[in-house]
Amino acid sequence: MDIALNIRAIREEIAAAARRAGRDPDTVTLVAVTKGVAPDRIGEAVTAGVAAIGENRVQEVLAKRGAVGERVAWHFIGHLQTNKARALLASGPLALIHSLDRPSLAETLDREARRLGLVQPVLVQVNVSGESAKHGLAPGDLLPFLRWAAGLPGLSLRGLMTMAPLAADPESARPVFRGLRELFLEAAAAGIPGVRMEHLSMGMTGDYPVAVEEGATLVRVGRAVFGAPPGRAG
Ligand SMILES: *Cc1c(COP(=O)(O)O)cnc(C)c1O
């Protein structure tokens, strides 16, 4: 599995999808997802030009951030337990936390960020598909949540994230991505002071070209970069 070649192929797919949608490919950032990937292989991806790394477990972020260092931007993309927020921020602010999905987590992150004297950029995760197993705010709760969370000085609200249902056909994700973009436009139009709608984090290995067509600015791609981790279902 040649990581540099994989990255080049993904960048070409991103550029092609952006062009199909009349978008500038430079407005899309590849977040390489490194769950189960060792630091030396992360280093290979960084050498090949990856500028952003996504992790979904606190312990892994801490260990890998220590090993790989600050030459890349660290993104936290997974479900975050409230009692791990302090440990996560103790390694320094993340470039972005994609998975703010409930008021209790917002309160805890705000408190920890203020205690450390930092402002943590976050995306709000929305459960657009409505699957019961998925985390995220219900779409109807988004605007009230943004209005409330905008008052937390330790957080900087920067956009939205969603996960599409896993499916063989990437087209089945399109309505979910489109739904997130509509919420994004609605939130931007609401003009809530302190809320900056900059980022749409959507799309993974199976569906990132569709996400780019629908407006993604951050695609979170793991398996297409590093291959499927052994023992993990595709
Ligand atoms: C694992 C993961 C990804 C990447 O999934 P791949 O299918 O390996 O590209 C993206 N987002 C989140 C939240 C993840 O946990």
Convert the pLDDT of each residue in 67-91 to its tens digit: 999 999 999 999 999 999 999 999 8
pLDDT at residue 2 greater than cutoff 60:
yes
Contact, 84 vs 58, CB < 8 A? yes
Does ligand 1 lie within 6 Å of residue 222's CB atom?
Answer: yes
How far does residue 74's CA lie from ligand 1's centre (Å)? 15
Q: What is the C-alpha to C-alpha distance for residues 95 and 82, in angstroms, rounded to an integer?
A: 19
Does ligand 1 lie within 6 Å of residue 170's CB atom?
Answer: no
How far does residue 16's CA lie from ligand 1's centre (Å)? 21
How far does residue 10's CA lie from ligand 1's centre (Å)? 15
Q: What is the C-alpha to C-alpha distance for residues 219 and 6, in angstroms, rounded to an integer?
A: 15
pLDDT at residue 26 greater than cutoff 80:
yes
Task: Choose which residue among 14, 29, 33, 208 to substitute to test ligand 1 binding: the one with the highest number of ligand atoms within 8 A of its C-beta.
Answer: 33
Residue 164 located in a structural domain: yes
Domain hosting 126: range is: 3-226
In this prediction, residue 112 has a pLDDT band, given cuts at 50, 70 and 90, of very high
pLDDT reported for residue 231:
54
- CATH code, domain carrying 100: 3.20.20.10
Number of other CB atoms surrounding residue 127 within 10 Å: 19
Does ligand 1 lie within 6 Å of residue 106's CB atom?
Answer: no
How far does residue 21's CA lie from ligand 1's centre (Å)? 23
Residue 14 located in a structural domain: yes
Residue 90 located in a structural domain: yes
Strands (DSSP E) along the chain, which ranges?
29-33, 52-55, 73-76, 96-100, 120-125, 155-161, 195-201, 218-221
Residue 234 located in a structural domain: no
Q: Which long-range contacts (CB under 8 A, 24 or more apart) does 135-143 make?
A: 135/79, 135/99, 135/101, 136/101, 136/161, 136/162, 136/163, 137/101, 137/102, 139/179, 139/183, 142/183, 142/187, 143/186, 143/187, 143/190, 143/192
pLDDT reported for residue 234:
43
Number of other CB atoms surrounding residue 190 within 10 Å: 13
pLDDT at residue 7 greater than cutoff 60:
yes
Residue 231 located in a structural domain: no
Residue 84 located in a structural domain: yes
Q: Is this structure's pTM higher than 0.75?
A: yes
Contacts of 35 (CB under 8 A, 6+ apart): 55, 56, 57, 60, 78, 222, 229
How far does residue 186's CA lie from ligand 1's centre (Å)? 26
How far does residue 78's CA lie from ligand 1's centre (Å)? 9
Residue 232 located in a structural domain: no
pLDDT tens for 184-215 read 999 999 999 999 999 999 999 999 999 999 99
pLDDT at residue 233 greater than cutoff 60:
no
Q: What is the C-alpha to C-alpha distance for residues 77 and 23, in angstroms, rounded to an integer?
A: 25
Total domain count, the chain: 1
pLDDT reported for residue 230:
62
Average pLDDT over residues 35-53: 96
Does ligand 1 lie within 6 Å of residue 56's CB atom?
Answer: yes
Residue 134 located in a structural domain: yes
Q: What is the C-alpha to C-alpha distance for residues 15 and 189, in angstroms, rounded to an integer?
A: 28
pLDDT at residue 232 greater than cutoff 60:
no
